[in-house]
């Protein structure tokens, strides 16, 4: 039998990535993103009215987390969809939003937060009179950063079922009706 030292066993039990030979470079300092700025210095406009700024990029956490801030400049939101592998967490900073997660419908105001579990259909819309702002986190990051990069390039990302599929989501239905 091959000799295995205690450190190798510890790495295999506690640090499975190291045991597989995958090297993670530890972050040696914090990552600061100033107010109003984008982590990658490339803010995106989605659907012509939503400014998205990355606060934690996928690369910062080795795929563990992706965090963005969205300024909603008009009413509305994305189509009903679900994520196969990500939890999506929302924190309302300004304005009011309506959410549906599964069969539950709720209105969120500043300071409220909501978790949409993976594989549960959800949809949301900004409904306030003045611009709104929401913080959105995806855990694990998966392909969500790619989704927002591609959505910013499209005229109508909400109708692009292929984009959703390519980013491990399903497009389930239309955006919320605000009528």
Q: Are 135 and 86 in contact (CB under 8 A)?
A: no
Domain boundaries, the chain: 30-173
Residue 154 has pLDDT above 70, yes or no: yes
Q: Are 114 and 106 in contact (CB under 8 A)?
A: yes
Residue 45 has pLDDT above 60, yes or no: yes
pLDDT in tens, 68-94: 999 999 999 999 999 999 999 999 999
Homologous superfamily (CATH) for 30-173: Jelly Rolls (2.60.120.10)
**Verdict on whether the full-model pTM lies above 0.85:** no
Lowest mean pLDDT among 1-5, 22-26, 154-158: 1-5
Percentage of the chain with pLDDT > 90? 62
Q: What number is the average pLDDT over the span 126-137?
A: 95
Q: Are 50 and 73 in contact (CB under 8 A)?
A: yes
What is the pLDDT, as a whole number, of residue 1? 43
Q: What number is the average pLDDT over the span 110-117?
A: 98
Q: Are 144 and 167 in contact (CB under 8 A)?
A: yes
78 closest CA partner among 41, 52, 104:
52
User: What kind and span of H or E run contains 161?
Assistant: helix 161-166
């Amino acid at each position: 039998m091959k000799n295995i030292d205690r450190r190798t066993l510890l790495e295999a039990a506690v640090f499975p990535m190291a045991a597989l030979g995958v090297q993670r470079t530890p972050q040696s300092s914090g990552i600061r993103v100033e107010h109003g700025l984008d982590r990658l210095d490339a803010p995106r406009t989605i659907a012509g009215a939503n400014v998205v700024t990355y606060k934690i990029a996928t690369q910062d956490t080795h795929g563990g987390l992706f965090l963005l801030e969205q300024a909603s400049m008009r009413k509305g939101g994305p189509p009903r969809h679900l994520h196969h592998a990500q939890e999506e967490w929302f924190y309302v900073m300004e304005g009011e939003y309506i959410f549906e997660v599964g069969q539950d419908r709720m209105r969120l105001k500043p300071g409220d937060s909501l978790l949409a579990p993976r594989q549960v259909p959800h949809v949301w819309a900004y409904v306030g009179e003045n611009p709104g702002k929401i913080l959105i986190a995806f855990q694990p990051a998966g392909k969500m950063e790619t989704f927002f990069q591609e959505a910013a390039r499209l005229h109508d990302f909400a109708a692009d079922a292929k984009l959703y599929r390519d980013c491990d989501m399903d497009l389930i239905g239309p955006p919320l009706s605000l009528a």
